[in-house]
Amino acid sequence: MKETNGQEAIILPAVVSGIENPEPEFLEEGVNLEGSRRNDEHSLGNDEHSLGNDEHSLGNELGPPTHHKNRYLQPFSRARSFYTSHSALFKKILLILLCLAYAAYFLAACILNFQRALALFVLTCLVLLVVAHRLLKKFFGKKLTGCLKPFNNATLKLWMKRVFAGLCLVGLILWLALDTAKRPEQLISFAGICMFVLILFACSKRHSAVSWRTVLWGLGLQFVFGILVIRTDPGFIAFQWLGDQMQIFLSYTLAGSSFVFGDLLVKDVFAFQALPIIIFFGCVMSILYYLGLVQWVVQKIAWFLQITMGTTATETLAVAGNIFVGMTEAPLLIRPYLADLTFSEIHAVMTGGFATISGTVLGAFISFGVDASSLISASVMAAPGALALSKLVYPEVEESKFKNKEGVKLPRGKEKNILEAASNGAADAIGLAANVAANLIAFLAVLAFINATLSWLGELVDIHGLTFQVICSYILRPMVFMMGVDWADCPLVAEMIGIKFFINEFVAYQQLSQYKNKRLSGMEEWIGGEKQWISVRAEIITTFSLCGFANLSSIGITLGGLTSIVPQRKSDLSKTVIRALFTGSCVSLISACVAGILYVPRGAESDCVTFLSTSFTNRTYESYVCCRQLFQSTSLNDSIPSFSGPWEGQEISAMALANCCTFYTSTVCPEIGPHP
């Protein structure tokens, strides 16, 4: 009750219909309040009785009363409440059951056929390593950190660094002396590394500010990773297996492209064969990014590079991200921090983009027939090399805001679910595929025009066959030789490096795949005094040297991408991009030198006597090698062939020689039989 003007007034509850009761001020003066109260209460009782009758009538029409429904739903409510209160326990039980089921499946697969289950075994081991790392960090992280505290002593750390550096230097000298004793051509590649480092140091922005710790650590990591991949059997087998799995995985693109374009177009037309791979791989990368796997791997690689090389978190994350994403996507990983980067950090971010290729483009290069394991190795090796050479050319002299920043976060995908991520990835890759196709059309046409113009100019002064490739082969031949390429292969390799830098890496890799296909098809190495293909060693070195986006057309792509993110730093970006392009090119060339130092022929030599004892009906690389060996072991005495070496005394020697002469030419062949 309220008091209104000294009188008590009754405030009635609201009627169920939703209409509000009138306020007390609407009551007339002089009304007997008690009578009014009784009348109102009587009226309210009648209303409630009437309302009850209405509800009863409505209940009879629509069904049982509400409390009856609640009674029926009580078991379900209790079950839901029980599950909610014990949800963590149920999730653990479900997880344990799933793990037990997977363990049973895993053991069965490995026992039945381990070779067939090798991929499953590798993936399982990787997952177990990740889980073990998280558990160790969670339960023993503080204890391990405490155990390492004694090593934080400045004097002890200095002596440890000196001892470690001395051991590395002695180990490198001993390794070079012992390993190159049988293959002195490897020393040429080592001299090539020294040459490129000296050139970059001469071009350094500030010579006195160079952090040699960063430079030597980066080059050392490149070298160690190269040893792991190229020279050690486990590493070589692992990356060879990874490359094979990558090719198998990319072959699934045929299912979609064949359905859309037809088998004939996919088989014979480049655009329908290679470009769908970009779309498929872009879809897969988008899914992995949505799941957070790409970010996790990038952060682990960046953490390792940061603690060893002493670089800042932002530049290290961007360079590590370039292993998986392109030169315009990697800066997006550190987008919130780009505006505050120093000049040296900007240079490092740009260099990382020029020195590497994206995962999507990697799939396209593999589809060309380029060695997959070499491409993967070159992509990973480029990350420490890019940081090292970037700090050699543009050392840090400013105070970075991210020197001790460990909390740099990588963004997650904005998609709501995995299907949206897959759809967006495929849609985004369409632009990249169209860009690749447009660039190939434009640059190949421009190259043909340039060659026609140069040929016309050369003909005017009696210089025949002058082309852009020929000019590159002469200008770049000394540099290619210092990378460890045989002198006979230098012109062709120099042509491809020139095409990559001035035109496009797609055109260069396409040329490399043509040379490789000629070699594998058993074509003659020399025809009309012109070399038709390059050796396996030269192929590996070329694959490493071409693995990067460092070409003139990438300048516009890099500037366009970065200025759209931080337009206020357009002037700073323009000042740095040319130096970063040159540095990124040298990163790929030094990786090629490392491959030249470490590469040795693998696999047992072919038993040519056994191979040529059977008649072969088509040319292969093995048939070419064996026939050349037979030609070198054959001499003519009055048109009668005599054999030496492994062919001496073999009954099949004459038959094998006749068979080889039907496919290849030699000075011992005219007297033996016809030639193609």
Dist. CA 38–CA 52, nearest whole Å:
21
Q: Quote the pLDDT of residue 8.
A: 42
Q: Where are the domains of the chain?
A: 2-26+35-62, 186-603, 608-661
From residue 10, alpha-carbon distances to 23, 34, 493 in Å are 9, 10, 103
Residue 533's closest CA among 501, 511, 508? Answer: 511
Q: What residues pair up with 635 in beta bridges, in sequence order?
A: 642
- The single-letter DSSP state of residue 180 is T
Higher confidence at residue 104 or residue 327?
A: 104
384, 221 Cβ separation under 8 angstroms: yes
User: Can you read off the two tokens belonging to residue 536?
Assistant: 């396996």
Instruction: Give the three-state DSSP class for 4.
Output: strand
Q: What residues pair up with 531 in beta bridges, in sequence order?
A: 526
Termini Cα distance of the chain: 119
Residue 521's closest CA among 436, 618, 452? Answer: 618
Q: Quote the pLDDT of residue 673.
A: 45
Q: Look at residue 387 and tell me whether its pLDDT is greater than 80.
A: yes
Q: Which residues of 397-426 are buried (b: 16+ CB within 10 A; e: fewer)?
A: eeebebeeeeebebeebebeeeeebbebbb
Q: pLDDT by residue (tens digit) across 49-81?
A: 454 555 444 445 445 555 555 666 677 777 778
Q: Quote the pLDDT of residue 28.
A: 39
8, 31 Cβ separation under 8 angstroms: no
Instruction: Give the three-state DSSP class for 551.
Output: coil
Q: Taking the mean position of all CA atoms in its chain, how far away is CA 321?
A: 8
Q: Quote the pLDDT of residue 13.
A: 41
- Where residue 404 falls among pLDDT bands split at 50, 70, 90? low
Q: What is the pLDDT of the chain when averaged over all its residues? A: 81
Residue 413's closest CA among 428, 398, 434, 395? Answer: 428
Dist. CA 547–CA 508, nearest whole Å:
10
Dist. CA 587–CA 114, nearest whole Å:
40
> Which are the contacts of 488, defined by CB distance < 8 A and separation ≥ 6?
531
Q: pLDDT by residue (tens digit) across 312-366?
A: 888 998 898 888 888 888 888 888 888 889 999 999 999 999 999 887 788 889 8
The residue assigned the tokens 């590996």 is: 540
State the SS3 of 555-589. HHHHHHHHHHHCHHHHHHHHHHHHHHHHHHHHHHH
Higher confidence at residue 646 or residue 9?
A: 646
Enumerate the H helices of 227-269 as residue ranges: 233-251, 253-261, 263-268
382, 547 Cβ separation under 8 angstroms: yes
Residues of the chain above pLDDT 90, percent: 27
pTM of the full predicted structure? 0.78
Q: Look at residue 383 and tell me whether its pLDDT is greater than 50.
A: yes
Q: Look at residue 631 and tell me whether its pLDDT is greater than 60.
A: yes
Q: What is the mean pLDDT of residues 293-313?
A: 86
Enumerate the H helices of 27-117 as residue ranges: 33-62, 66-85, 87-112
The residue assigned the tokens 């990588």 is: 410
From residue 569, alpha-carbon distances to 341, 355, 381, 671 in Å are 10, 22, 30, 74
Sort 597 into a burial class: Cβ within 10 Å, 0-12 / 13-18 / 19+: buried
- Where residue 189 falls among pLDDT bands split at 50, 70, 90? very high
Dist. CA 594–CA 646, nearest whole Å:
36
Dist. CA 17–CA 39, nearest whole Å:
20
Q: pLDDT by residue (tens digit) across 215-244?
A: 999 999 999 898 888 888 888 888 888 888
Least confident of 92-101, 281-290, 379-388, 405-414: 405-414
Least confident of 143-157, 378-392, 542-556: 143-157
Q: Look at residue 9 and tell me whether its pLDDT is greater than 50.
A: no
- Where residue 31 falls among pLDDT bands split at 50, 70, 90? very low
Q: pLDDT by residue (tens digit) across 516-546?
A: 999 999 998 888 888 999 999 999 999 999 9
Q: What are the two backbone dihedrals, phi and then psi, of residue 199, each rounded to the nearest 5 degrees? A: -65, -45
- The single-letter DSSP state of residue 157 is H
- Half-sphere CA count of 503, side-chain side, radius 13 A: 29
One-letter amino acid of 1: M
Q: Look at residue 132 and tell me whether its pLDDT is greater than 60.
A: yes
Instruction: Give the three-state DSSP class for 360.
Output: helix
Dist. CA 42–CA 170, nearest whole Å:
109
Q: Quote the pLDDT of residue 604.
A: 58
Q: Taking the mean position of all CA atoms in its chain, how far away is CA 72?
A: 58
Q: What is the mean pLDDT of residues 459-464?
A: 90
- Where residue 190 falls among pLDDT bands split at 50, 70, 90? very high
Residue 546's closest CA among 485, 488, 600, 601? Answer: 485
Q: Long-range contacts of range 404-409, CB-CB < 8 Å, 24 or more positions apart?
A: 405/312, 405/313, 405/314, 406/313, 408/313, 408/314, 408/317, 408/334, 408/337
Task: Kindly report the number of other CB atoms within 10 A of residue 97's CB atom.
Answer: 10
Q: pLDDT by residue (tens digit) across 238-273?
A: 888 888 888 888 888 888 888 888 877 777 677 787
Residue 612's closest CA among 592, 595, 628, 598? Answer: 628
Task: Kindly report the number of other CB atoms within 10 A of residue 606's CB atom.
Answer: 15
Dist. CA 117–CA 106, nearest whole Å:
8
**Antiparallel, parallel or unpaired: β 530-531 and 634-637:** unpaired
Q: Quote the pLDDT of residue 301.
A: 86
Q: Look at residue 152 and tell me whether its pLDDT is greater than 70.
A: no
Residue 351's closest CA among 561, 559, 584, 555? Answer: 584
Q: What are the two backbone dihedrals, phi and then psi, of residue 542, each rounded to the nearest 5 degrees? A: -65, -40
Rg of the chain over all Cα atoms, to the nearest angstrom: 37
Q: What residues pair up with 9 in beta bridges, in sequence order?
A: 2
- Return the top range by mean pLDDT from 11-25, 317-331, 412-426, 575-589: 575-589
φ/ψ bin of 615: left (φ > 0), alpha (ψ from -120 to 50), beta (otherwise): beta
Residue 414's closest CA among 424, 405, 406, 404? Answer: 424
